[in-house]
Structure 1
Amino acid sequence: MSKSKIGFIGYGAMAMRMGSNLRKAGYPVVAFAPSGGKDETEMLPSPRAIAEAADIIILCVPNDAAENQSLHGDDGMLAGISKDKLVLDTSTVSPGQADMLAGLSREHGFALLDAPMSGSTPEAETGDLVMLVGGDDATVERAAPVLDVIGKLTIHAGPAGAAARLKLVVNGVMGATLNVIAEGVSYGLAAGIDRDIVFETLQQVAVVSPHHKRKLKMAQDRDFPSQFPTRLMSKDMGLLLDAGRKVGAFMPAMAVADQALSLSNRLHAHEDYSALIGAMERSVANVPHK
């Protein structure tokens, strides 16, 4: 039995790895990559062409503005979509954007899940992402074969828009925890503890997650390959604080982390967000950034 054709709108570091795993699983894959990478995947000229050619469309773009640009206009996805198509929005966007896209899906009659992923490029490479999905049960079941290829676990967060909100919870915890670790490193170095002892200790203790231990290793090596760019983490923290303000959530630690990442973003926008640890280190030790 032939498998559904998958079409990516946005084909950057995460999407390319998801596309590779889908091809290995036997899915034909096409992509539109206005600013992303290119591999052996067939490239199409527009989001409209993707919507016309693919059975399942995966949106993987950096922000609300990029998503809207992909959706609208003569060459946008909506110009080529039909009622038999399924759209998986793996982008991290604002709750309002997710709600808007859900409204468009009802208007145009296509099936939709907001389906942001938790994980970075290493997990995308191995198909070990955690997929957060929002939508009805039937659409989750329809998407399951694809989700099972790109992720190790799918969490049904609730109705449309729920996963977009849950993703901000996850990334807020990531960003705030990274900032706390950076503050701890700052104190340890300022107090005169040997640099390697500080970093190696934090990489061994149970209170630091495996994800953040990877970030500490980057900081110890003073090298920040962009698994999750600072510009995207800073954007996500801003989305979280804006969304939290609208519902009256109390998030002072996340607000501080947002400010710290905003400052780091000025110098390290395209490096991994763990570059914040390096910035903290330089603030107390005058250590040059690699």
Structure 2
Amino acid sequence: MSQTIKRIAFIGLGVMGHPMAGHLARAGLEVHVYNRTSAKAEDWTERYGGHHHPTPRQAAEQADLVLLCVGNDDDVHEVALGDDGVLHGMQAGSLLVDHTTASASLAESLDTACRERGIGFLDAPVSGGQQGAENGALTIMCGGTESDFARVEPLLAHYARAVNLMGPAGSGQLTKMVNQICIAGLVQGLSEGLHFAERAGLDQARVVEVISQGAAGSWQMENRHRTMIDDEYEHGFAIDWMRKDLAICLDQARHLQARLPVTALVDQFYADLQAMGGGRWDTSALLRRLRAFD
């Protein structure tokens, strides 16, 4: 049960991991952290207490639960399976949860590696961005066994408003792919709608106020329309990271023989924005691309 989890290791203290680990510390749990840039780990412990370590392996030693939140498949492989990776420090009966948005095949490989060591595993990518992490309002999509999920669900609730088991290992990552596919189409549609309203001489904000109450409404519309209208994109989820995620989606789609024509097109639109120097702009900058042709 969750009461047996007392010592936690959190690996990766970026814009998401930093507040997520902070919620655990504020809940009174013993949290040990590692970050590739040690200064960030030091800053975290100064703010929240806990302990920071020079390697993932040392952070994971004697931990009941190890949480990963890093950049991509290669990063996960390094911090989990590398010479100083967490699996070399974890003990049988402990649990590894990977919050990184990564490939389903990596999740399946990690599950196998964990089972061979008597360690539980969940792939558990998150949605909600930095704001969701800071507010403890993330959505978490998990893949793994029901017993491992039941053990960790109450702890994940410290930084999530929704935590769901979607199926066996890899299912969390597949669900996150669906999430990113839907977002890509939504943001492009919103960008085109705002661009059309602007060219038609309409008050864009008033248009959104009206249509957001009907079938066109979405999280993207509610939370991004104002900054899009104002051409502000130095915030939010970076295009570089979205292209990383969409590459995973498109690769998986080829494997599944699923057709993603709109997703592939929007991915190329994001490549255009990267070429404009916008790799760190928020994904809603698709509107800036349309305005560039005015």
**Aligned-residue offset at 1:175:** 1.5
Q: For the Cα contact (< 8 Å) 1:8–1:58, is it kept in 2?
A: yes
* Alignment correspondent of 1:287: none
For 1:217 and 1:35, locate their aligned partners in 2 and report how far apart those are by CA, in whole Å.
34
For 2:261 and 2:104, locate their aligned partners in 1 and report how far apart those are by CA, in whole Å.
20
- Residues 27-36 or 46-55, more deviating: 27-36
**Aligned-residue offset at 1:80:** 1.1
**Aligned-residue offset at 1:159:** 0.8
Deviations along 1:207-241, one digit per CA (max 9) or x if unpaired, are 13133332222222322233211111111111101
What's the secondary structure of 1:13's corresponding residue? Answer: coil
**Aligned-residue offset at 1:2:** 8.7
2:261 to 239, 248, 252: 252
2:211 to 205, 210, 231: 205
Q: For the Cα contact (< 8 Å) 1:57–1:86, is it kept in 2?
A: yes
What's the secondary structure of 2:141's corresponding residue? Answer: strand
Percent identical residues: 28
For 2:233 and 2:96, locate their aligned partners in 1 and report how far apart those are by CA, in whole Å.
33
| Residues 50 and 264 of structure 1: CA distance in aligned 2, closer, same or farther (over 3 Å) | same
Q: For the Cα contact (< 8 Å) 2:34–2:56, is it kept in 1?
A: yes
For 2:195 and 2:126, locate their aligned partners in 1 and report how far apart those are by CA, in whole Å.
31
For 1:26 and 1:283, locate their aligned partners in 2 and report how far apart those are by CA, in whole Å.
53
* Alignment correspondent of 2:67: 58
User: Is 2:190 the counterpart of 1:184?
Assistant: no
Kindly provide the amino acid, as one letter, of the partner of residue 15 in structure 2: A
User: Is 2:131 the counterpart of 1:122?
Assistant: yes
For 1:35 and 1:173, locate their aligned partners in 2 and report how far apart those are by CA, in whole Å.
33
Q: CA RMSD in A?
A: 2.0
Kindly provide the amino acid, as one letter, of the partner of residue 244 in structure 2: K
User: Is 2:273 the counterpart of 1:271?
Assistant: no
- Residues 136-145 or 273-282, more deviating: 273-282
Consecutive unaligned residues in structure 2, runs of 5 or more:
none
Kindly provide the amino acid, as one letter, of the partner of residue 193 in structure 1: G
Q: How many residue pairs get matched?
A: 281
Q: For the Cα contact (< 8 Å) 1:7–1:53, is it kept in 2?
A: no
Q: For the Cα contact (< 8 Å) 1:234–1:265, is it kept in 2?
A: no
What's the secondary structure of 1:241's corresponding residue? Answer: helix
Deviations along 1:90-127, one digit per CA (max 9) or x if unpaired, are 11001111111111111222111111112111111121
Q: For the Cα contact (< 8 Å) 1:6–1:29, is it kept in 2?
A: yes
| Residues 226 and 108 of structure 1: CA distance in aligned 2, closer, same or farther (over 3 Å) | farther
For 1:199 and 1:247, locate their aligned partners in 2 and report how far apart those are by CA, in whole Å.
40
* Alignment correspondent of 1:17: 19
| Residues 62 and 200 of structure 1: CA distance in aligned 2, closer, same or farther (over 3 Å) | farther
* Alignment correspondent of 2:174: 165
* Alignment correspondent of 1:104: 113
**Runs of 4+ in structure 1 displaced over 4 angstroms?**
none
What's the secondary structure of 1:283's corresponding residue? Answer: coil
For 2:269 and 2:118, locate their aligned partners in 1 and report how far apart those are by CA, in whole Å.
42
Deviations along 1:125-176, one digit per CA (max 9) or x if unpaired, are 1211111111111101100121111111111101111111000001111122
